[in-house]
Structure 1
Amino acid sequence: MTFFTPVIAATLFLCVCTAQAHQGHAGGIQTASAKGVNASFDIVHTRIAKEGNTAVFHIAVSGKAGKSHPTKVGKLAGSSVFSYVWPTTMDPSVVGFDKGAGILAFAVTSHPDFDDTPLYDENGDGDLANDGDLWHSHWVVLQTDDACGKGALKVIDIPEGAKPALPKTWPGLPLLIDSPGYSPVFKGNTLEVRVPFDDIGVVAESAFDGVAAALRVNASVHSPLLCVVDVFKVASGALTLPGKVGK
């Protein structure tokens, strides 16, 4: 399954080295470090492992993972989101969206201008609405939309009046997004998130890729609301989802 778009064509020069560099990171997708890419987003290893009924989402970079955050602009409109993303071949219904709704991806994001985890107080200060800058996790459903740029991806909008299937932890935004509260753990050059599943079998047969990217909220806060505007790096080089869970 291939989800190639012109937006990431510039990353095709990246070398995917499965048998050479980064020997300390076993399995998954091994990728050579790339000059000119911010080291905190320079993906060198991407993996989804299985431990019992838990999927462990892993990304390693050439620098310090999670070091870079978007610059705060002081408002939602036009604000930026930095993200580490695992696009997958899992059906969105696995986590509570409609079957076949789009490309299901797991993401870890930071965005200082808004908070989209209303059920969680990540910084422990008693305010549920001021934690957006802290790295946190989402499920998102993606599709291409030329309104974001030719062939570019967006988080799918929910039209006014539509009633799609949504996870219980949907944050109330008019997007196919979930805020499940799984805590990302950053350690040196690595990022890992442990995600439990009632049926790990739905994960075991899936494929994946790794992406570091920036998204932007529409300046008019209108559909398309959240577009991918800058791809820092793609683990496979062309978003071909070559990774196999547990391998």
Structure 2
Amino acid sequence: MKYQRNRLAAVFTVLAMLAAQQAGAHAVSAKQGNVKDASFDIVNAEISVDAEKNQLVFAMSVAGTAGAVKPKKTGKFEGSDVFSYVWPTKIDPSEVGFDKGAGILALAVTTHPDFDDTPLFDTKGNDWHSHWVVLAPDEACGKGALKVKDIPAGTRPKLPKTWPGVPLLIDSPGYAPRFAASTVKVRVPFDDVTNFKGVAFDGVTAGLRVGASPHQPLLCVVNVFDVASGDLSLPGKAE
């Protein structure tokens, strides 16, 4: 009898472990210790579907304190730096107000002391804030590098209502990021969040830099600190 009880206990333990693994199967776990600054050393990235509140919940955990490190102020717009926590996704850009198929839609939590790109919301200078951005490769930023997609002069792409007025495919929707120790989290509302169950994503920490000209390109990813998957393969699934 004792043997049977122990065996049953072992079976239930294994089942519980499997259930826990499946519950977190949508997340992307990352290798630790490969980033100099622990504030950008990704441990875990995930997107959860909160059907009750009709929200996608973007979360990222790092080895250090999330949001602790910010760029140094340069005193000018051109050449200034942007630090970011980014979730590249396979959500089509048209879902948030851009043209269909415009590029890689990503949610980014950013900070930059030298300029304000949230005219409709008070971010108190250097505070962290959220953006939707459309990313695209551009060799002008470096071999294999990405940029926030520029709006060519004289063109009129479809843009969200909270577009901040800069010549980039960027939106400033005002979704407030929440920092708690090692984790940053953002809740994003949608009309029907169930449309995004299973959508692919990844997690990235990166530094971007403002270029010298509005169209040459304006905002390049110049330093990728960490990629949750290691290869930007977007293995995560929103669940």
> Please, what TM-score do these two structures have when normalized by structure 1?
0.84
Q: Which amino acid aligns with 1:80?
A: D
State the alpha-carbon separation in 1 of the partners of residues 40 and 33 from structure 2. Answer: 10
Q: CA deviation at 1:63?
A: 0.3
State the alpha-carbon separation in 1 of the partners of residues 84 and 136 from structure 2. Answer: 16
Q: CA deviation at 1:111?
A: 0.4
Q: Which one has a bigger Cα radius of gyration? A: 2
Answer yes or no: is the 8 Å Cα contact 2:204–2:228 preserved in 1. yes
Answer yes or no: is the 8 Å Cα contact 1:77–1:221 preserved in 2. no
Q: CA deviation at 1:147?
A: 0.4
Q: Which amino acid aligns with 1:31?
A: A
Partner of residue 108, structure 1: 109
Answer yes or no: is the 8 Å Cα contact 2:153–2:215 preserved in 1. no
State the alpha-carbon separation in 1 of the partners of residues 161 and 84 from structure 2. Answer: 23
Partner of residue 50, structure 2: 51
Partner of residue 199, structure 2: 206
Please give the per-residue CA displacement for 1:161-201, whole angstroms capped at 9, x wherever unaligned: 11100000000000000000000000000000000000213
2:226 equivalent among 233, 240, 245 = 233
Partner of residue 245, structure 1: 238
Partner of residue 184, structure 1: 177
> Please, what TM-score do these two structures have when normalized by structure 2?
0.87
The Cα RMSD (Å) is 1.5
Partner of residue 122, structure 1: 123
Q: CA deviation at 1:102?
A: 0.4
Q: Which amino acid aligns with 1:92?
A: P
Answer yes or no: is the 8 Å Cα contact 1:94–1:202 preserved in 2. no
Aligned length: 216
State the alpha-carbon separation in 2 of the partners of residues 136 and 198 from structure 1. Answer: 22
Please give the per-residue CA displacement for 1:71-112, whole angstroms capped at 9, x wherever unaligned: 110000000000000000010000000000000000000000
Give the match's secondary structure for 1:40.
Answer: helix
Partner of residue 136, structure 2: 143
State the alpha-carbon separation in 1 of the partners of residues 192 and 220 from structure 2. Answer: 31
Partner of residue 73, structure 2: 72
Question: Which stretches of structure 1, 4 residues or more, deviate above 6 A after TM superposition?
Answer: none
Please give the per-residue CA displacement for 1:112-147, whole angstroms capped at 9, x wherever unaligned: 000000001133xxxxxxx2x110000000100000
Answer yes or no: is the 8 Å Cα contact 1:90–1:202 preserved in 2. no
Q: Which amino acid aligns with 1:185?
A: R
Give the match's secondary structure for 1:77.
Answer: coil
Q: CA deviation at 1:26?
A: 3.8
Identity over aligned pairs, percent: 62
State the alpha-carbon separation in 2 of the partners of residues 147 and 174 from structure 1. Answer: 17
Q: CA deviation at 1:30?
A: 1.1
Segments of structure 2 that go 5 or more residues without pairing to the other structure are: 1-16
